[in-house]
Structure 1
Amino acid sequence: MIENWTRERVTQRVLTATLLVILFILCFKVVQFFIVPALWAAILSYVTFPAYNFFHQKVRLSPNISAGIMTVCISLMLGVPVVLGLFVLQQEAVNLYSNLLYRIKVGYVDLPEEIKNIPVIGQQVKDILWEINKDPEASLSAFRAWLQSHLYYGKVALDVALSTMAKMGMALMTIFFFYRDGISLIKQIRQALRNIIGNRIDDYIDSVGSTTQAVVYGIGLTALAQAILAGIGYYSAGAPSPILLTLMTFVVALIPFGTPFAWMGVSIWLLTQGHTAEAIGLALWGMLVISWVDNLIRPIVISGATKIPFIIIFIGVLGGLTAFGFVGLFIGPVVLAIALAVWREWINQHRNIIFAPCYAQLDEHQWKPADRPMALEISPNVVTFSKYPFADAPKDGTDKSDSAQELKSCSVPDSSHNHKEDDNHRPDK
């Protein structure tokens, strides 16, 4: 009877676990496409939640109206730069294509002498230019054939762009519900995790929140400041399309140590166009001003707010970017912050064990005086001494620690009694 009941219970538990696993897999398949948009929506809504509280609590608007206002603001903040950048990029691409076709038709395609004199590829560049200028019609036909053969890459780029736009729209739609129902959702998640892990989950959630906020502010403010300063440099140096270059610099600046590639590339281009003074000035502006913004703002904002070493944040940003893509810029530091919180909690819980005094127990035949002072206690059956590596021995000469009490409770049999037992078991007896 008991065996049948146990077998039924085991079968029921296995079946329940199997159904839960299947349900989890199916749910993951359903929401797989929306995971990244939901993460972006969660990050943006959490960081900008004080603004939502302003409309909801200070202005006393309803949750729906407050969430709608914040969603519109976020949409404008993200959509206007993207639309402006795409418009400028389309204009630049059309101008480049028209200019290139015109130069090929008239038989005059040339590059600066600095590029043609590069040691390794300079001669190849000269040969290509000579072939193009020699027969413009054949070069134009070859160029069109090359474009047709690479239309597949254009289709791939279009698919990626449409997928990105769809994810952005999904994120903007999700962020509305995160604003309106975010507090209730966090309470439910906190309670569910508390049922599994315990009350310690509160510290982990607080660590996730502070790290996310610090990373977003640190990376975002640093990228914005660097992009603005770089845009000033581009405009002063006379670089073409300074607005587009500023937007591209902002995107590149989100990646650690990515900003120098932006202004260095523009400086090199100015140098190849013969604008030596402007190129040198932009390079100096980048090294002396733009780079120092990254060195000052990012460590102060991130490490100062989270009490986490900057090297851990740096590894989290790069590792998250490699593992999860662009959203990994924020996921990576959060994961390492949780791991660091778990590590610190474990250290605090086991501090008495890790830093406890080192004890030893000897009988009176094995004990010898030590070269250094020790806390010593001698009883008829046991000798207990302890080394204190941190010079925190008790003042009264007694050891009140748990380890010492445990050692004292372990008695050693009387040596004289052992000798008597040995005498009784001698062969001659």
Structure 2
Amino acid sequence: MNALSPRSGALSRVLLDVLIRAGLIAALAMFCFDLFRPFLNLVMWSLILAVTLYPLHQRLAARLGQRRVIASIILVALGLVCLIAPVGLLGASIAETIRTGVKSFEAGQLELPAPPASVEQWPMVGEPLYSLWLQASQNLTWAFQQLMPHLKGWSGIALHHAAGIGTGIVTFLLALLIAGWVMAEGAAGRRVAEAIASRLFNPALGPQMVDLCTSTIRAVAQGVVGIAFIQMVLLGVGFVVMGIPLSGLLALIILLMGIVQLPVVIVVVPVVIYAFAHFGSGVGTIAFAVWTVLAGLAEHVLKPLLLGRGVAVPMPVILIGALGGMISNGIIGLFIGPVMLAVGYALFNRWVQGPEPVPSVILPAD
């Protein structure tokens, strides 16, 4: 066989150098990502909070004479108060309930009230529920013996989720502090984001992608938090009017469940059952049940309206991205999913439209 020509040998050496450099860069990128991965959720939450709160930060800084650092400190302080106060109230209420229950159990005073007679008249489940409830009220030890085998498998799951909630709260607090620093450097952060997007796409498309990501994050945040707040108000008003005990605490739990995308039916159904059991099946109770069910289902109507608001992408794209991201990556995917799908949709739409035609120049005749 003929030996390789000098030109072919030079090309082989250049290709080998390129492959070695690419391999070293890929190894360095993987090593850096492995070091950064434990802080990925914290950084993502910080950016999401900073992007969401930045318009409010700008308005506050303008009122303070463009003092961006002071505006960030005020927003972070307000955020900490709004987060720590409800969590502290919820934790204190749970601790007090547990303490009271333990004292009653030790004193032999823990008892279950007998069911109202109206429970037996409920369709389908009335008679067995009344019988079970009555027997449990007469012999609470028997009820614990019946429930313990079923609760053993769920105890570990409950502890795991409780630990996850605590970790999430701490992460959110740290993310809020970092978001304050990011908002104080918002202009510089915007320039860096546009520079990165311009390198990934092109100088003309980069700022448009940054605007798209920003508007998508804000729309999802407003949709999630806004819907949770609306449901809290609607259900809380119904609880107060009906005279449900601990109405404020239940409304707070509904707000937190809406933010973390848990179904509020977990709270709504027991409250409705309690209302029928203690207030009877009158017109007021039926109206309360209908109001509570409609308020609990309001998210299915409001979510399509609020999630796609102010975004230059069709609402179904944002909604599919939010639901798919939440299913695959949890609550953080609720924000990442719509952003990625919106960027992909914009790029695909631009590719379908094709390059812009170059205007022809008509030269004057000689």
TM-score normalised by structure 2 residue count: 0.78
Q: Matched residues in 2 for 1:186 and 1:212: separation?
A: 15
Residue 140 of structure 1, CA deviation:
7.1
Deviation string for 1:139-193 (max 9, x for gaps)? Answer: 7799899999987556534532442233123312321221122332332232133
C-alpha change, 1:202 and 1:80, in structure 2 (3 Å) is same
Residue 351 of structure 1, CA deviation:
9.1
8 Å CA contact retained: 1:320, 1:331 = yes
Corresponding residue for 2:163? 159
Matches within 5 A, 1:114-129: 114=119, 126=131
The 10-residue stretch of structure 1 (143-152 or 285-294) with the greater mean CA deviation from structure 2: 143-152
Corresponding residue for 1:71? 76
Please say if 1:197 is aligned against 2:221. no
C-alpha change, 1:33 and 1:273, in structure 2 (3 Å) is farther
Matches within 5 A, 1:251-270: 251-254=256-259, 258-259=263-264, 262-270=267-275
Deviation string for 1:227-271 (max 9, x for gaps)? Answer: 112111111112221122112222333477944554344212322
Corresponding residue for 2:20? 15
What amino acid is the match of 1:25?
A: M
Please say if 1:175 is aligned against 2:179. yes
Q: Matched residues in 2 for 1:318 and 1:326: separation?
A: 10
C-alpha change, 1:157 and 1:8, in structure 2 (3 Å) is same
8 Å CA contact retained: 1:264, 1:283 = no
Residue 19 of structure 1, CA deviation:
2.0
8 Å CA contact retained: 1:115, 1:272 = no
C-alpha change, 1:12 and 1:165, in structure 2 (3 Å) is same
The 10-residue stretch of structure 1 (29-38 or 233-242) with the greater mean CA deviation from structure 2: 29-38
SS of aligned partner of 2:331: coil
Q: Matched residues in 2 for 1:152 and 1:333: separation?
A: 33
What amino acid is the match of 1:225?
A: I
C-alpha change, 1:158 and 1:229, in structure 2 (3 Å) is closer
Q: Matched residues in 2 for 1:309 and 1:159: separation?
A: 38
Corresponding residue for 1:81? 86
C-alpha change, 1:289 and 1:163, in structure 2 (3 Å) is closer
Counting matched residue pairs gives 350
8 Å CA contact retained: 1:52, 1:179 = yes
Which structure has the greater CA radius of gyration? 1
Corresponding residue for 1:188? 192
Corresponding residue for 2:331? 326
Matches within 5 A, 1:95-174: 95-98=100-103, 110-111=114-115, 114=119, 126=131, 130=135, 133=138, 136=141, 152=156, 155-157=159-161, 159-174=163-178
Q: Matched residues in 2 for 1:290 and 1:120: separation?
A: 23
SS of aligned partner of 1:60: coil
Higher relative contact order (CA 8 A, sep 6+): 2
Matches within 5 A, 1:389-404: none
C-alpha change, 1:275 and 1:135, in structure 2 (3 Å) is closer
8 Å CA contact retained: 1:204, 1:338 = yes
Q: Matched residues in 2 for 1:211 and 1:77: separation?
A: 24
Deviation string for 1:53-100 (max 9, x for gaps)? Answer: 234344135443332222222222222222222222322343455556
* Among 331, 335, 341, the residue aligned to 1:336: 341
SS of aligned partner of 2:19: helix
* Among 218, 228, 234, the residue aligned to 2:233: 228
8 Å CA contact retained: 1:320, 1:328 = yes
Please say if 1:47 is aligned against 2:88. no
The 10-residue stretch of structure 1 (9-18 or 146-155) with the greater mean CA deviation from structure 2: 146-155
C-alpha change, 1:22 and 1:177, in structure 2 (3 Å) is farther
Q: Matched residues in 2 for 1:76 and 1:168: separation?
A: 13
* Among 275, 285, 296, the residue aligned to 1:279: 285
The unaligned stretches of length 5 or more in structure 1 are: 353-400, 402-429
Residue 272 of structure 1, CA deviation:
3.3
C-alpha change, 1:234 and 1:107, in structure 2 (3 Å) is closer
SS of aligned partner of 1:240: coil
* Among 306, 309, 314, the residue aligned to 2:314: 309
Q: Matched residues in 1 for 2:241 and 2:153: separation?
A: 40
Matches within 5 A, 1:227-246: 227-246=232-251
Q: Matched residues in 1 for 2:321 and 2:120: separation?
A: 39
The 10-residue stretch of structure 1 (146-155 or 40-49) with the greater mean CA deviation from structure 2: 146-155
What amino acid is the match of 2:316?
A: I
Corresponding residue for 1:215? 220
Corresponding residue for 1:92? 97
Residue 286 of structure 1, CA deviation:
3.1
8 Å CA contact retained: 2:325, 2:337 = yes
8 Å CA contact retained: 2:197, 2:210 = no
C-alpha change, 1:149 and 1:212, in structure 2 (3 Å) is closer
What amino acid is the match of 2:56?
A: A
TM-score normalised by structure 1 residue count: 0.68
What amino acid is the match of 1:282?
A: F
